[in-house]
Structure 1
Amino acid sequence: MTTTLSPSAAKRVFFILSTTRWLPVGFVVGIFTLVARERGLSIEEITLYMTAQGIMVLLLELPTSGFADVLGRKPVLLVAGIVNIVAGIAFLFAQSFWTFALAAGLMGVYRALDSGPLEAWYVDTIHEREPGADVHGALSIQGVLVGVGMGGGALISGGLVAWHPFKESSALLLPIQLFVALCVVHLVATLVLLREPPRSEGRFGPRLMGSVRETPVVIRDGLGLLRTNSVLRGLVLVELFWVTGMMAYETLMPLRLAELLGSEARAGVWMGPAAAGGWALFSFGSWLGGRAADWFGLVRAAILGRVLNGLGVVVMGLTLGPAALMAAYLFTYTIHGAASPAYMGLMHREASSKNRATILSMGSLAMQGGGAVVGPLLGVLAARTSLGTAMVVAGVVSTIGFVCFLPARRHQRELDAAQAASEATSSA
């Protein structure tokens, strides 16, 4: 496969599109839920309609990734961009449970389409010129950009809601309107900047039909790797452990903070700056994770990141005051960013151009499915014991997930031994 973009140009495009993709999301963190509440939906209805997004992701994650592997990354990303814009408009005009469920379902379709193709395109472009090159450095910088974009968007969104320049409409609508506008910018940037030669010859129509026929084969072969590739199987399984800890610091943490402060309203005041600080530290952690991969190697850095992240959750459950909880939360979010570059670098080592998007989606699918099961279980545990206990258990489970990296560790040792033997032979 050939491309017109050099590795340095591809890296610039990857960073630009990563920024334009995540900046809009920062504008609507929590906003969709607040709009639904403002328009009369109950808490039960809100939590129920939100499941439409997860259901669509679970149904479409692998098919859309297989499609991207066969037809190409750019066509799928363009379709994803269009669906995202439609989903944003749907949220703007939704008034009932079913219209909000429709909007959430469309957002789930977008998430499934968008999961993997951009990263897969970048890695394939690099590997075309430098076969097998590790890409954790670029993924580290991408994480920095994601954190900055999300945090910056959230801060601007909060300022816009407080400003409320258009008194005739809800203060919550302007961030969604800007979200839609920025999604249009991202779609245009994808169309103009991302260059990808056709993954097969001929006119688009026949190639499209051929891709439809080949996609199930790609998915089948990708899933088959889980049976035969112990390294990949371990990397996918680690997501089931990690998502347990993530559910604690994403979902239980605000409730734990309210418990310690004695008021949901006071917890809401604390959570605004905490979320912005968390994303800022996520950016720093992502940069640090890239450096750690250089210092310790991908496997050791991945293990260290996951273990520290899980221990951070344990500390969050053991804290007895709000300030200590916030400090543990910010540490955990820093390591959340630091753990990603090495892990994703290991995932890319097990993928090829033919199945990269599918391989990446396997990890995402494990996380989505695991979260759907773990979340309610942690809620039951918290109700029957305490929030602190549930967070400690979640942290312990997340920490022991490091055992899933052991096949990758053994494989790395084998590679190192083979390389040392080869160098010894050459020097002799």
Structure 2
Amino acid sequence: MPAAPAPAASLRSVRRRFVALTALRWLPTGVVIPVTVLLMRERGLDLPTIGLIVAVYSAATLVLELPTGGLADVVGRRPVLATAALVAAASSLTLAFGRGALVLALGYLLGGIARALDSGPLQAWFVDRTHEVDPDASLRTGLSRAGVAESVALALGALVGGGLVALSPLPDQGDGLIALSTPFLVAAALSVVHAALVLVWVRDPARVAAPEQPGTMRALGATVGSGLRLARSHPALRRILLVTAAVGAALSGLELLAPPRFAALLGGESAAAGAYAVLVTAGFLGSASGSALAPLVARLTRAPSRAALAGILGAAIALAAVSLPAPVAAAVAFVGFYVLLGIAGPLLDELTHAAASSGQRATVLSLNSMALQGTAIVTTAGLGVLAGVTSSAAALWVPAAVLAIGALALVRWPRPAS
């Protein structure tokens, strides 16, 4: 009889698949990031309308996060992840072919549904499979490498997306497919590949069915309810949700305010377009570097909560520094924000998984995503008005302050219950 594979080899296989699936999940997003607004502008939409369409994505994600997280905990990670990838492909195709606000809004609605479906199951699968192979195995390395993979995939995708438009054989204008549609066609194909790999690689651990929950919908309701009660009663999870909400305000604030800020520094939108695309790529690579540094920083500070606290406080300072009047200093602060937040990301994930059980893991991750998306909606609406009254530089201080205050939830991290 052949010998069973060594646990170390099995752990490496789980980790490699998790990292590869994470990269492939975010690569299509990176491909379309540089051209999404440009495509909608080419379709004749003005910026206020585009803002409303983008809000459809966040609203759909917010509303569906918890039910879809509970669904993944009940029916398994594999079917939910595969469905998410296929819905993402449908979203990309809708945006590629669509004309008019309603059709493009439908594309964003599908994108929000896909985001809600896949916001927690892949990471939950990785944690469950790792613990199935070795209950005492550390999650930090896998979560850190996945953070690196996500950021590198976004950076690489952003560069590829711009190149696809330049090389596209499609016309620059027209009622059908145009050059700006090309990245969305490629993103759809990548999402289909992602779905196929999920079906091949992801296997849900064996579960013990609860006899008192005979129906899927009843089980789903019970799982969602228990996740809400856990978040309300568990001191660590309450703190993580507060930190995540603050991070959502910071990220959405920077994404909204940085483009006009650098346009003002560099002499207008046209002058800043190329430089800002390079800066965004550098930011994603900086986030990857931060994720790679997370295990080292945790060892140096002797606790993941202290390392995450240091990273988030540093990111808050960097976010405020983006308001500096010198373009180089503002650009360094922009990249520094992503590096420091990248350090905190995998460590916050580690703290989350330490507090959540297997049967509630995807639900809890969906709660985190809800906190992120909820503050993003409020932030983008409020900061747009504030920046119009004052300036993008002044408005940047608000999300910086929110992030610094949110970091305080990591002070004196509660000890695990004995």
TM-score in terms of structure 2 length: 0.92
AA matched with 1:113: L
Q: CA RMSD for the aligned pairs?
A: 2.3
Uncovered stretches (5+) of structure 2, i.e. residues with no partner: 1-6
CA–CA separation in structure 2 for the residues paired with 1:232 and 1:245: 20
AA matched with 1:128: E
What does residue range 309-328 of structure 1 map to in structure 2 within 5 Å?
309-317=315-323, 319-328=324-333
Which stretch of the first structure deviates more once superposed, 355-364 or 169-178? 169-178
What does residue range 26-175 of structure 1 map to in structure 2 within 5 Å?
26-131=30-135, 133-167=137-171, 170-175=178-183
In the TM superposition, what is the alpha-carbon distance from 1:84 to its structure 2 partner?
1.2
CA–CA separation in structure 1 for the residues paired with 2:115 and 2:218: 23
CA–CA separation in structure 1 for the residues paired with 2:398 and 2:106: 35
CA–CA separation in structure 2 for the residues paired with 1:355 and 1:410: 20
In the TM superposition, what is the alpha-carbon distance from 1:186 to its structure 2 partner?
0.7
AA matched with 1:307: L
In the TM superposition, what is the alpha-carbon distance from 1:200 to its structure 2 partner?
5.3
What does residue range 4-403 of structure 1 map to in structure 2 within 5 Å?
6-131=10-135, 133-167=137-171, 170-197=178-205, 199=207, 210-296=215-301, 297-317=303-323, 319-403=324-408
AA matched with 2:314: L
Equivalent position SS for 1:131: coil
Residue pair 2:322, 2:396 contacting (<8 A) in 1 also: yes
Which stretch of the first structure deviates more once superposed, 348-357 or 376-385? 376-385
In the TM superposition, what is the alpha-carbon distance from 1:166 to its structure 2 partner?
3.6
* CA distances 1:124-164 after superposition (whole Å, capped 9, x unpaired): 11112333544122111111111111111111111121223
AA matched with 2:54: M
Residue pair 2:34, 2:162 contacting (<8 A) in 1 also: no
Uncovered stretches (5+) of structure 1, i.e. residues with no partner: 416-428
Equivalent position SS for 2:396: helix
CA–CA separation in structure 1 for the residues paired with 2:59 and 2:189: 27
Residue pair 1:316, 1:392 contacting (<8 A) in 2 also: no
CA–CA separation in structure 2 for the residues paired with 1:46 and 1:375: 13
Residue pair 1:63, 1:215 contacting (<8 A) in 2 also: yes
Which stretch of the first structure deviates more once superposed, 224-233 or 191-200? 191-200
In the TM superposition, what is the alpha-carbon distance from 1:380 to its structure 2 partner?
2.5
In the TM superposition, what is the alpha-carbon distance from 1:410 to its structure 2 partner?
3.5
Could you list the structure 1 runs, at least 4 aligned residues long, displaced by more than 6 angstroms after superposition.
none
AA matched with 1:177: L
Equivalent position SS for 1:305: helix
In the TM superposition, what is the alpha-carbon distance from 1:192 to its structure 2 partner?
0.9
CA–CA separation in structure 1 for the residues paired with 2:214 and 2:163: 48
Residue pair 1:132, 1:349 contacting (<8 A) in 2 also: no
CA–CA separation in structure 2 for the residues paired with 1:302 and 1:187: 33
Equivalent position SS for 1:354: helix
Counterpart in 1 of 2:4? none
In the TM superposition, what is the alpha-carbon distance from 1:257 to its structure 2 partner?
1.0
In the TM superposition, what is the alpha-carbon distance from 1:57 to its structure 2 partner?
0.9
In the TM superposition, what is the alpha-carbon distance from 1:115 to its structure 2 partner?
0.7
Compared CA separation, residues 401 and 117, structure 1 to 2 (3 A): same
In the TM superposition, what is the alpha-carbon distance from 1:381 to its structure 2 partner?
2.4
Compared CA separation, residues 209 and 181, structure 1 to 2 (3 A): farther
Compared CA separation, residues 383 and 201, structure 1 to 2 (3 A): closer
Report percent identity of matched pairs: 36
CA–CA separation in structure 1 for the residues paired with 2:23 and 2:249: 28
